[in-house]
């Protein structure tokens, strides 16, 4: 730095001029020092600002990392809830049972595994009705139970009607009309019917 300003001192022999040159040189040094001080202050302020930005970035990164971890854990929790709901939903349906909503055709899809001796069901909801060529619906246990109850009611009514008819037939056999009493073959068939009915 000194060499830079020594070149400006032109009149080293003349004391007056030398004084002016030294004054100019000192002013230049002061101006240069002031500029350097301002530059240092600017750089320091910029460093502080950069440090604040870096701290902010670090805090933001930590915040985002924590948020991502929270979202990941929340996603895992929701995946578990979805799996639980799917399993519960699966329990609503009868395995391998499908029904056509258009014609009422019912299909049971079972696979017999000869090697292991097990039976597995195919529950994919892509089966088409062979009659209507539309996607069939899976059958719920509630639907199976309702159909079972309807069948039981129908069988019960049928059994009740047949019991009434049987009672009428037994009454007719025990007290036949006089026109049938002379038919020996009819009496033998009636007696056999009564014996079979009582034994059954």
The tens digit of pLDDT for each residue in 62-88 reads: 777 777 777 777 777 777 777 777 777
The pLDDT tens digits of the residues spanning 6-49 come to 444 455 566 656 666 667 777 777 777 778 778 887 888 887 77
Task: Tell me the percentage of the chain whose pLDDT exceeds 90.
Answer: 1
The answer to whether the CB of 136 falls within 8 A of the CB of 128 is yes
Beta bridge partners of 119: 112
Find out whether 175 and 194 touch, Cβ atoms under 8 Å: no
Phi and psi angles of residue 173, each rounded to the nearest 5 degrees, phi first: -70, -40
Residue 133 near residue 104, CB atoms below 8 Å: no
Contact predicate 129/103, CB 8 Å: yes
Q: Is the pTM of this model over 0.85?
A: no
């Amino acid at each position: 730095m000194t060499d830079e300003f020594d070149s400006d001192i032109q009149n080293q022999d003349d004391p007056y001029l030398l004084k002016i040159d030294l004054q100019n040189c000192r002013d230049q040094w002061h101006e240069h020092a002031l500029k350097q001080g301002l530059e240092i202050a600017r750089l320091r302020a910029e460093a502080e600002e950069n440090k604040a930005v870096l701290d902010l970035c670090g805090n933001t990164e930590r915040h985002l990392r924590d948020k991502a971890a929270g979202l990941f854990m929340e996603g895992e929790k929701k995946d578990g809830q979805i799996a639980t709901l799917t399993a519960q939903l699966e329990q609503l349906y009868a395995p391998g049972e499908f029904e056509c909503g258009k014609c009422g055709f019912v299909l049971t899809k079972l696979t017999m595994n000869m090697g292991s001796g097990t039976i597995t069901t195919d529950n994919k909801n892509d089966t088409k009705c062979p009659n209507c060529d539309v996607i069939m619906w899976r059958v719920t246990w509630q639907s199976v139970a309702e159909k079972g109850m309807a069948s039981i009611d129908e069988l019960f009514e049928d059994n009740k009607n047949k019991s009434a008819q049987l009672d009428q037939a037994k009454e007719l056999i025990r007290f036949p009309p006089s026109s049938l009493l002379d038919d020996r073959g009819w009496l033998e068939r009636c007696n056999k019917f009564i014996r079979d009915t009582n034994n059954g």
